[in-house]
Structure 1
């Protein structure tokens, strides 16, 4: 056991990523008196602009989008009661294969050592007991998520610290349930369908790709019940209103959201406590 406040550091790629996979643990552990530190690596400039204007379309201004998303990130952090918000402010790289991947200053093109050195400085300052980021594929192959993984693991190596390190993931059972909810939601949509015609199914290619994500349930090491904080998690996502078109979860309402998103799951990849797995607390063995 340690004689100072416990600290959780979550390293994410973009504004709004903090809410999707870790909003529950950030809210829960803040409520338990744990210091919560959020590091957001990019400015989110490749997100939607006002009115839903897309990157590359006329009127899309990455700098203006970044400024808007910074305010949304701050609002989300307030909702989750995050203790400390740090931003590295690299340029958003966009989706894999976009020209913005290679733009000057993009996170994807930044040398890993450079980003890791900056993050290591933050780790030495906050001395996190638990660090959370993505797996080596950034969960779904986004370049900025992959880069966030790379600099996080390198930063841990650069320091003398020995935090428990986790990668976000989803159980296959949860992904299956998500697919079912997508179908239910599609069937419940009013108005758009032509009378007498079946409501179109979600894109089968998207569902097939979804099914390949995550891990088998028995490979997941850590299951954290955040049901009591699902309302905060929903509100933190809603704070990113400019990206609402891309956040499917907001369309299902708080009740259904809570049913689907009340458990956050992780793969523990570094541990010096010897706490047995599966575990139900990121801080198992530390308190």
Structure 2
């Protein structure tokens, strides 16, 4: 059996981007490890959500542990950096923010986990951080360097299919009248021709949805994610997309752990 590591920027990112792949890997008997760069302390929360004396970092850590249990994670690690906020926020340059972290230093921390785990596979964000978020861009830089330091054999960027996802979300909004975010201002995901892997996770879609649901502070039940009817949710989130250098162009992989049994 193999060890699958996914490196994420904030609590909840894992469930959205690779939650299904994680669950499928666990179901196949592989070891799943989740590493999160920041505590997500700048996430927006509903008023009155936190208990007296409770911090958002503590809440989001607990939510991540709950999601990890659902998704079959055997080891959860936080690197301890601070959430940098959206691009251009003053928190980008705050002491301890992930955006200001030294890439070599952060990569060494992650590489130590990869070596200890004898990781066979790692996933991290694409070079634009999915949608231009500084912490996600930094996850790409740190993840790529850590994989080099640890000589991890299979290295994937998790991303989204810019062409297919946009079209599907718009069809959903038009068909149901649901309100979805305006993504036109973002360079979201990657064009289909750059993608090399697609993992069908519809057979574990309820686990993926439960992982997302565990992050109540960030993904409330009334969010456009979770309020989708089952059939639409399976279409919108039932495929997870990846890029592996040297494997393209075109979809060449549907199982990131193929041949590692």
Alignment pair present for 1:73 and 2:57? no
**CA drift at 1:174:** 2.7
Measure, in 2, the Cα distance between the counterparts of 1:158 and 1:218. Answer: 29
- Ranges in structure 1 where 5+ consecutive residues have no aligned partner: 54-58, 189-200
Cα separation, partners in 2 of 1:63 and 1:127, compared to 1, 3 Å = farther
> Following superposition of structure 1 onto structure 2, how do residues 80-159 of structure 1 map, counting pairs within 5 Å?
80-159=71-150
The TM-score with structure 2 as length reference comes to: 0.89
Alignment pair present for 1:251 and 2:247? no
**CA drift at 1:253:** 3.9
Q: Say which of 228, 239, 261 aligns to 2:203.
A: 228
**CA drift at 1:50:** 5.0
- Ranges in structure 2 where 5+ consecutive residues have no aligned partner: none
Measure, in 2, the Cα distance between the counterparts of 1:259 and 1:153. Answer: 30
Cα separation, partners in 2 of 1:52 and 1:244, compared to 1, 3 Å = farther
**CA drift at 1:84:** 1.1
Q: For residues 233-263 of structure 1, what are the alpha-carbon distances to aligned partners after superposition, in whole Å with 9 as ceiling and x for unaligned?
A: 1111110001125953112144421222111
> Following superposition of structure 1 onto structure 2, how do residues 1-287 of structure 1 map, counting pairs within 5 Å?
5-51=1-47, 64-159=55-150, 161-171=151-161, 172-185=163-176, 187=177, 206-209=182-185, 212-244=187-219, 248-269=224-245, 278-287=252-261
Indicate if the aligned counterparts of 1:45 and 1:63 stay in contact, CA closer than 8 A.
Answer: no
The Cα RMSD (Å) is 2.6
Indicate if the aligned counterparts of 1:163 and 1:270 stay in contact, CA closer than 8 A.
Answer: no
Q: Which has the larger radius of gyration?
A: 1
Specify the SS of the correspondent of 1:224: strand
The TM-score with structure 1 as length reference comes to: 0.82
Q: For residues 15-35 of structure 1, what are the alpha-carbon distances to aligned partners after superposition, in whole Å with 9 as ceiling and x for unaligned?
A: 000000100000111011010
Specify the SS of the correspondent of 2:245: strand
Deviates more, 1:225-234 or 1:250-259: 250-259
Cα separation, partners in 2 of 1:207 and 1:158, compared to 1, 3 Å = closer
Q: For residues 35-93 of structure 1, what are the alpha-carbon distances to aligned partners after superposition, in whole Å with 9 as ceiling and x for unaligned?
A: 0010001001001245278xxxxx9x998110110000000001111111111121111
Specify the SS of the correspondent of 1:250: coil
**CA drift at 1:202:** 5.6
